[in-house]
Amino acid sequence: MKVRIFDMKKYNICVLGATGLVGSEMLKILIERDFPFENMVLLASSRSAGTVSHAADRDIVVKDADEETFEGIDIALFAGGEIASGDYAAKAVKAGCVVIDNSAYFRMDPEVPLVVPEVNPDALEGHKGIIANPNCSTIQMVAALKPLYDRAGIERVVVATYQSVAGTGKAALEELKNQSADILEGRDARISCYPHRIAFSLIPQIGSFGVNGYSSEEMKMINETKKILGDDSVRVTATTVRVPVEFGHCESVNVQTKTKLSAKEAADILSSAPGVRVYDDPAASVYPMPIVCAGRDEVFVGRIREDLSIDNGIEMWIAADNIRKGAALNAVQIAEELIKRNLI
Amino acid sequence: MKVRIFDMKKYNICVLGATGLVGSEMLKILIERDFPFENMVLLASSRSAGTVSHAADRDIVVKDADEETFEGIDIALFAGGEIASGDYAAKAVKAGCVVIDNSAYFRMDPEVPLVVPEVNPDALEGHKGIIANPNCSTIQMVAALKPLYDRAGIERVVVATYQSVAGTGKAALEELKNQSADILEGRDARISCYPHRIAFSLIPQIGSFGVNGYSSEEMKMINETKKILGDDSVRVTATTVRVPVEFGHCESVNVQTKTKLSAKEAADILSSAPGVRVYDDPAASVYPMPIVCAGRDEVFVGRIREDLSIDNGIEMWIAADNIRKGAALNAVQIAEELIKRNLI
């Protein structure tokens, strides 16, 4: 879905964290989707400043974010992590910029819309300069939950995730490869990004743990889902797990709806949902997997079946590229939606 | 827990499928645990017959199962798969042998006890010559469910699994290694054991699919859990997933109990449960993982916390070595329990 810009207005864009995995994907997606940008400012920490990025047939020198005034920039895509978001967002907004922030910093702020454009675009109306991009695992789950919610209501969601290392960043991708090679060749695996070895293993920890025993990633899925659906009565519990996969998050999602949906009804509803692709022919071994969703825009849903343990339950298996729909693409789609609604 | 055999009676043992992953682990465990065996007969298909196994300081030639009469054998551990179980079990029982069968062939037969010794040893009483060893994923789950069931009752279980390739056999271990090396070195991965690449990916299919959309592995977890707990009112739903891990299955298990348990109560109950090890200090990054449980006998339980979405819910994360407790060890423990109860 490309935005048709009839007035051909172009925007000055800035990407903060432009040298990271999400930032560089944002750049790629802006160009892929012919986003109407005029000037492109790329920002990073002083450590990465000075590198040259080749985008849209231009060589752009990455600047130190500390030296940026954000004057003249219309839209800033922030992918520099929570600390950078805290440091620069207020300054950018003050300079007249709309910030679309990929970090968790502003997500639960009641003044800040938390948006998946296919799910709750109306939340963008009346924004105050900052829009938060939800957590990667949450985005793909709510994309599949919303159409079911609209039709049948949702009582409760039980989710277990299978999350790729790309969510941690470039260093984790290297670590998975290096550890895998070390183990295949009989060497000890060197551990740096995670508390334990990830190659040929699993780690049931994403983020840090609260006193209730839930990890920060699990609490994000619980709280952000309620905020995006705009319904605190939806009950959610989550277990989030890192798996030795490069790109693409998978989720086993058990949904208890208010009224009964057959598996076929659920599949039909999801088939016409925006941004969702039903990929579900298990007898032919067709179901979402990391190798299916990596590099793709859609949220893939399969293994759709009626829960045998309750009357109003649907089981489904969801996969999406966590760097694209789970981060960079969703942020760019928010920018497109802001333009479409004249909110910039 | 070793069985103390005061009368020093020794048994003639046979292992069918002795050259496979589970069969060779059975052999190793019989010796590790000083199982009181006299003669040891090793059987395999004609393809593997003639190979020599070195067990308990003896070289034993593996015989063709087709040529075995089972005369004089007291206990036969079957690990040759469903077809072999169907082919040889009746003959072995007729010859006076007690068969402990690791395959799914007899598990749901109402005449056949399905036993996890820590959970339902009384089911062994009155056996008719065949005892079924449950599915690997089921064994580790019921080991943790039973103590909670006894204390608080269980309404419903929602489980998502993370299952290692060892469950498929030796060829799958090789395939994971080969595919991983191929991908690391930029080659295409060759696919043979699974419908898709498993290295650096996931496959949400274990077994084949029924008309209800559940896989055979998922139905095993649902049906076997009810049979082992001896309670058809326990409602279970499952999603089973193969992950690129060599040894050790993990499970995210959400339990809705009949009466409220706090996380601390659940952990205390599990701490005193036989065969279970509570391994749960997430703030120190202590939780079950494949690298924790591989090669170990215990069922590891961690991430024990109260479900935030319902009043009577416990979330937990369970890991066990699927070849040991999930297969070979549980079978040997059944044999030990039969001896202890004079049921052989």
pLDDT (tens digit, 9 = 90+) per residue, A14-52?
A: 999 999 999 999 999 999 999 999 999 999 999 999 999
Mean pLDDT of B268-272: 98
List A316's β-bridge partners, or say none.
Answer: A253
What would you report as the CA-atom Rg of chain A, rounded to the nearest whole angstrom? 20
Q: Residue A21, Cα to own-chain centre: how many angstroms?
A: 12
Mutation target for B interface from A156, A176, A218, A239: give the one with most B CBs within 10 A: A239
Q: If you measure CA to CA, which chain A residue comes closest to B283?
A: A209
Please list the alpha-helical segments (H only) found in A230-328.
Answer: 263-271, 290-293
Answer whether residue B236 shows pLDDT above 80. Answer: yes
Mean pLDDT of B71-78: 98
pLDDT (tens digit, 9 = 90+) per residue, B143-183?
A: 999 999 999 999 999 999 999 999 999 999 999 999 999 99
Q: Which residues contact A274 (CB under 8 A, 6 or more apart)?
A: A1, A118
pLDDT (tens digit, 9 = 90+) per residue, A248-269?
A: 999 999 999 999 999 999 999 9
User: Which residues of chain B neighbour A307 with C-beta distances below 8 Å?
Assistant: 237
Catalytic residues of B: 136, 249
CB contact under 8 A, B156 and A241: no
CB contact under 8 A, A302 and B204: yes
Across the interface, of A158, A176, A317, the residue whose CB is closest to B204 is: A317
Catalytic (active site) residue A193: no
CB contact under 8 A, B204 and A239: no
At residue A57, the pLDDT reads 78
Answer whether residue B55 shows pLDDT above 90. Answer: no
Q: If you measure CA to CA, which chain A residue comes closest to B159?
A: A160
Residue B106 near chain A (CB below 8 Å): no
What is d(CA B8, CA B296) in angstroms, rounded to the nearest whole number? 27
CB contact under 8 A, B239 and A214: no
More reliable by pLDDT, A291 or B4: A291
Both tokens of residue A1? 């879905």
Mean pLDDT of A193-213: 98
CB contact under 8 A, B213 and A303: yes
A219/chain B closest Cα distance in angstroms: 10
Q: Which residues contact B308 (CB under 8 A, 6 or more apart)?
A: A212, A214, A222, A235, A236, A237
ipTM: 0.96
Q: Which residues contact A202 (CB under 8 A, 6 or more apart)?
A: A241, A242, A243, A244, B162, B243, B245, B250, B289, B290
Chain B window 168-207: which residues touch A at a Cβ cutoff of 8 Å?
176-177, 180-181, 184, 195-197, 200-205
Query: Helix, strand, or coil here: B196?
Result: coil
Q: 10 Å Cβ neighbour count for A9?
A: 11
CB contact under 8 A, A313 and B160: no
Q: If you measure CA to CA, which chain A residue comes closest to B255?
A: A158
